[in-house]
Structure 1
């Protein structure tokens, strides 16, 4: 199926692109930039379809209010301007359905809209009291149960089953090292794993302490000038060192594609490679391919830390969560009967 070309008003203008490059692009993670651009395309198309006008800076409060109202209802069984606009957005591929978008989706698009106001040093219409109240009521009216980013956390027992499928081929050695690093270094995101270079791995303490240090140049919560150093030891450290030894890789991308003839290639893995690898290993281990996503490694690290009785603060040192409330959710998901504090007096 051929992708539909977006109309001009649903694309970044030259002025928008210049503003992004000058003020935000160098200091914002690439994934966030892509999300902003997609959201701006959606918002621009929505306003043109709704008002017949391009975006204004600053935007009018009535436009912000209408945006919230249009996205706070299920349009499947309604008629009128809001449904007509939604149908137009569906036709150009910017909206998936007439059903009410998730509150998180609406919040993200509003946050992107606000970010473009900030980069122009302009007040946001979403700061107006009436608009804020409407947004809060819309969020409550359409609240949904919290859905995990991965159907299941990949805890230690599941990870062991995946590792058991990794043989002595280059592909097997790479997959073992990737999965163990992603879990043992604090539940790393897939983009963080594929962005690693050999230069980010310090082996100075491996011979004497069995310790490997990993420097993450940029994460979702840290910037290059904050690059954290994370320790990794034991089996995970040995698996990573084994990958470097058998491939004789000394610089450049740490993890690389492996050819059909089992030869590591010189280029970097795609950002989404960990998802493909995980699905393949899940299938080999006898799990459904949709049993878990790469985020399951991050969820699994925190869940296993809770099951093992590790303090939340200690787990956050590795996971790099900024919010204790967010990290605590993984601890709260652990079945209370499995909580180690239920057996403080022993058997």
Structure 2
């Protein structure tokens, strides 16, 4: 992917053309693909907003007035604004372009992410950002507090062990079934892997040498959302999960390259890797086959389900985090707290 020039490092007069090209390459290689995609989406949105709001292109550096207007436009419910309100007219233009879903107030996390991207674009150009100005910083903090809301779960329900067993029961004998079984079991049993982590695995990331003697498969991931390249510890698969992965490697003929790949309608394994959306479709398909309602869970349910099951089984949170690779104890603790409060005897005082 070739990133837009707006978030590539600014040309430095002291650098030769070759050095400038090397610096640009360093930025691209040193930025996770998911972040590059987020940058691209945010740049498209910000550019369209500035054009609709002020009729001009982005400035480098951007003005404090534009930064403040961006915060104000996204910190209130515009459905309550007058039809000729400039912020509402801008939002409606973005909805028409398919860049905004509704006139509702932006979630604080969405606004924060877009501002963070805008800040990053300024840093890459070696420019000061308007979002560091005292009034703009204060407005941003007030907007975050004014729009504060309980975070929506990434999956409506966790895929706990009993739910996972229902999904696995739909995987029978085809190559696609074997692949889906391996994805579900690896995604759950290795600590609740994210979609990008699952599709990013290569055949050479899987070590089978100790399986015959110890029943263990080792998995090496290049990086995760919370770990950098070269700093991600090896993860382990045992028992049925290890067997399912080995079976997929065997029936899929996976000797090198991407570990998980599309399977054609003729049950032929293709060469390319799966897309992140494919994991969503696989989970959705298996939920439907298992007779569970539409929207019951998303791929993140594998992650939340692993931690919820660990709490239900009484596994120490530190042990669960060594597999889930959560950086924040507070984040992982939420799953344990949900289990603790549900099992609290004080909740049954009325019988």
TM over 0.5: yes
TM-score by length of 1: 0.89
Judged with a 3 Å threshold, the aligned counterparts in structure 2 of structure 1 residues 234 and 94 are, in CA distance, closer, same or farther, namely same
Q: CA deviation at 1:334?
A: 2.1
Aligned to 1:99, the other structure's residue is in SS state: coil
What residue number does 2:27 align with? 24
Aligned to 1:226, the other structure's residue is in SS state: coil
Aligned to 2:219, the other structure's residue is in SS state: strand
Q: Which moved more, 1:45-54 or 1:164-173?
A: 45-54
Taking the aligned partners of 2:61 and 2:334, their CA distance within structure 1 comes to 37
The list of structure 1 runs, each at least 4 consecutive aligned residues, that deviate by more than 6 angstroms after superposition, is none
Q: CA deviation at 1:138?
A: 1.2
Q: Which moved more, 1:103-112 or 1:130-139?
A: 130-139
Q: Deviations over 1:26-62 (max 9, x none)?
A: 1111111111111112112222222333222222222
Taking the aligned partners of 2:187 and 2:88, their CA distance within structure 1 comes to 44
Q: CA deviation at 1:270?
A: 2.1
Partner residue of 2:334 out of 329, 332, 338: 329
What residue number does 1:33 align with? 36
Question: How many residues of Structure 1 are paired with residues of Structure 2 in the alignment?
Answer: 330
1:312 aligns with 2:317: yes
Gaps of 5+ in 1: 1-11, 343-347
What residue number does 1:263 align with? 268
Partner residue of 1:43 out of 37, 46, 53: 46
Q: Which moved more, 1:136-145 or 1:233-242?
A: 136-145
Judged with a 3 Å threshold, the aligned counterparts in structure 2 of structure 1 residues 266 and 50 are, in CA distance, closer, same or farther, namely closer
Judged with a 3 Å threshold, the aligned counterparts in structure 2 of structure 1 residues 313 and 122 are, in CA distance, closer, same or farther, namely farther
Q: CA deviation at 1:23?
A: 5.2
Judged with a 3 Å threshold, the aligned counterparts in structure 2 of structure 1 residues 334 and 113 are, in CA distance, closer, same or farther, namely same
Cα contact 1:187–1:319 (8 A) shared by 2: yes
Cα contact 2:52–2:93 (8 A) shared by 1: yes
1:107 aligns with 2:125: no
RMSD: 2.1
TM-score by length of 2: 0.88
Partner residue of 2:343 out of 321, 338, 343: 338
Q: CA deviation at 1:262?
A: 2.2
1:135 aligns with 2:140: yes
Q: CA deviation at 1:175?
A: 1.1
Taking the aligned partners of 1:23 and 1:52, their CA distance within structure 2 comes to 34
